[in-house]
Chain A
C-alpha cells in the first residue's frame, strides 16, 4: 500500500520554544538584563520568605543618619533604615507588577480573542465600544475614582490598573486573532465541528503567546512606574512602604538637602525598569515568528 512512502525528514527535534530560547541566549544584552531582573527577584523573594528587610518599619536609628555599616543607605526623617525600606519596596513592586501583569494580560487575551474571533458581530461592537469608553477617561482620574469607589480596599490601585491595562493587549490580540481565524488550521477545526470556545482556546490563543508575553512585560513595567506616581499622589499603596511612598516621603527631605531616601527609591526603580525593558525587547526579538517560524 505504501508504494509512495516518503523517507522521514531530518530529525530536528526542537520545538518552537526551544528555538526562541536559543535565539534569546545569543543576545548578550538580553542575558545581562535578565540577570539583573533575577537579582531584583531574589531580593524580593528574600523579603517574602522573611530573610531580610523585616525591620523596614522599625526606628533603628536617628533622623537623617548618613550611610554607614549599620545603615547602608542611611536613615530617613524619622530614623528608619532606608536600605531595608528600599529592599522591602522591591517586593512590593514585584507584587504589584506581577498581579497587574497577569490579570491584565489574561483579561486582555480573553476579551481580545472573543472580539477578534467574532469580529463584526455585536459582541465585537460592544467590546470595542467599551474599550473606547475606558480609554476616553483620563487614567489618574479613573484610578482615583476606583480608589474612591472601593473605599478602604488595599487593591484599589491594582484594580484601577488592571481595568485599563488590558485594553492595549486586547486590541493587539483582537487584530492577531482576526488574522488567525481565517487561517486554514482554524477553518479545519471548524470543519471538524469543534465549538468556538474550544477552537479559541486550543488553536487560536496558543498562537498569540508572543504577543501575550511581550504585553505582560509591558504591563509589569507600567504597573511599577504607575505605582510610584499613584503612591506619590496618595492614591496608591496604603499600608507598608513602596518606592512611590519613599519618594513622596523624601520631598520634605530633599528640600532640606538630604537625598538618600529619594536616590535609593528612584535609582532602584530605574534599574529594574531599564533591565526589564531591555529584557522584554530581547524577548520580543527572540519570539518574532519571522525568526522562529
Chain B
C-alpha cells in the first residue's frame, strides 16, 4: 500500500475559505484579458467526514466550477482549500497527486463520462493500477467487489459502455469514483440525466455509501427535491456566491434568503402549488457584470435601499448554534 498523505485528524474534512475562481475573458486583437467571469466568488464552507453538503442554484451560478476547483481540476484564483488540514490550493500538480486518491468526481452525463472504447473492467482498473492499490491479482477481486457495491454483476467486466443503460453507466461511474476508496466525492448532477424510476435507485445507492462507507459528498444539483433527499447541509448559490448555508432541515422548512424562498416556491409540486406563490421575475444577471450591492437585488421582492449599493455578507441567523447562515440585509 502507498502511504497516504498525513491527515491532521481533527477538524472538518474539508474547510474552504474565501475561494474564488475567475475565468479571464479575452478579446480584441491582442488577445488581452478584457474581463473576468467571477464563476466562484468568495465562497467559504466546511464539510465533515461522512456528511453531505448539497449545492443548489440556477444554471451558471458556479456550482460545477466550485466542485471542480475544490478538486483542483480548475485553478483557484484565491482562497484556501483545506483538505484534512492541508491547503490544496497551494500544492503543485506533483504534490497534489497522492491527494487524488482521497477525492473523486461523479459526473452528470452517463453517456460522456465513460470512455467509449474501454471496457468497464479497464475503466475500473485504471485508478487501481495508477495508484498501485493492492497487488495485480487482488485488483481483479477489487473490481468485482466495486461492481457488487453499486449493484452490477461482475459478469459485465468485459462490456463496453454502449451496452449499458444510463442508470447502469451512472453506477459504473460511481464505482470508478469508489475505486480509490476516497474520503470525498464531488457529485455533479449525478442523477439529472436519469429517469425518475432509475433516479431513485441511484439516490438510494448514494445514501447507502454515505452511511456505510463514511464518504463525504459535495452534491451538486439544480433539483431541490433531490438535494433534500441526500443532504445534511444545503448551500444555495447565486452568481458565484453562497447566499444561504445551513442544515438541510432548517433551510427547507424555514428558508430565510428571498432567493431560497423563491427557488423553493418555483418547484412544481405533485400535490399542486399554492395559488398565491410569488414567482420570481427577470433572469440571472451576467456574471461578467454582476450588479452592485446584493447581486439579487434586481429580482428581489423585498429589496431595500441598502441592498442596491452594499453587498451583504453571510451572517448567522437564529444564533450561532443553529449553523444557519444567510447573506441578506433583511437579517
A residues touching B (Cβ–Cβ < 8 Å)?
Answer: 1-2, 4-6, 8-9, 11-13, 15-16, 183-185, 187-194, 202-203, 206-207, 293
Known: A15-B160, A16-B117. A188 touches B176 (CB 8 A): yes
Other-chain contact of A8, B68, B156, B180, B204 (Cβ < 8 Å): B156
Listed in ascending order, the chain B residues whose CB lies under 8 Å from chain A are: 68, 71, 73, 96-97, 100-101, 103-105, 107-109, 112-118, 126-127, 130-131, 148-149, 151-153, 155-156, 159-160, 162-165, 167-168, 171, 173, 176, 180, 201, 204-205
Contacts A1-B149, A203-B115; is A189 near B126 (CB within 8 Å)?
yes
Q: Which of B151, B163, B180 contacts A6 (CB 8 A)?
A: B151
Min CB distance B197 to A, Å, is 11
Q: Is the CB of B130 within 8 A of A9?
A: no
Contact of A16 among B116, B152, B167 (CB under 8 A): B116
Please indicate the chain B residues that have their CB under 8 angstroms from the CB of A4 in the complex.
151, 201, 204-205
Count: A-B pairs, CB below 8 Å: 88
Given contacts A6-B168, A184-B109, contact A192 B126 (CB under 8 A): yes
Say how far B30's CB is from chain A's closest CB, in angstroms. Answer: 13
Q: In angstroms, how far is the closest chain B Cβ from the Cβ of A36?
A: 31
User: Across the interface, do B180 and A16 meet the contact criterion of CB distance under 8 Å?
Assistant: no
Q: How far is the CA of A232 from the CA of B6 in the complex (A)?
A: 71
B-chain residues with CB within 8 Å of residue A203 when the two chains form the complex: 115, 118
Contacts of A16 in B (CB 8 A): 116-117, 160, 162
CB distance from A22 to the nearest CB of B (A): 14
Least CB distance, A122 to chain B, in whole angstroms: 13
A5 is contacted by which of B97, B104, B153, B204 (Cβ under 8 Å)? Answer: B153
Q: Of A11, A185, A191, A293, which contacts B115 at CB under 8 A?
A: A185
- CB contacts (< 8 Å) of A206 on chain B: these are 115, 117
Cross-interface CB contact of B148 among A1, A8, A188, cutoff 8 Å: A1
Nearest Cβ on chain A to B310's Cβ, whole angstroms: 37
Contacts A1-B148, A6-B152, A9-B164 given; does A193 touch B100 at CB 8 Å: yes
Q: Are A191 and B100 in contact (CB under 8 A)?
A: yes
Q: Which of B116, B160, B176 has most A Cβ within 10 Å?
A: B116
8 nearest A-B residue pairs (beta carbon): A193-B100, A184-B113, A184-B107, A5-B151, A185-B115, A184-B112, A191-B105, A192-B127
- Chain B CB within 10 Å, residue with most, of A2, A11, A188, A189: A188
Q: Is the CB of B113 within 8 A of A293?
A: no
Residues of A within 8 A of B180 (CB): 192
With A1-B148, A4-B151, A194-B130 known to touch, is A188 a contact of B105 (CB < 8 Å)?
yes
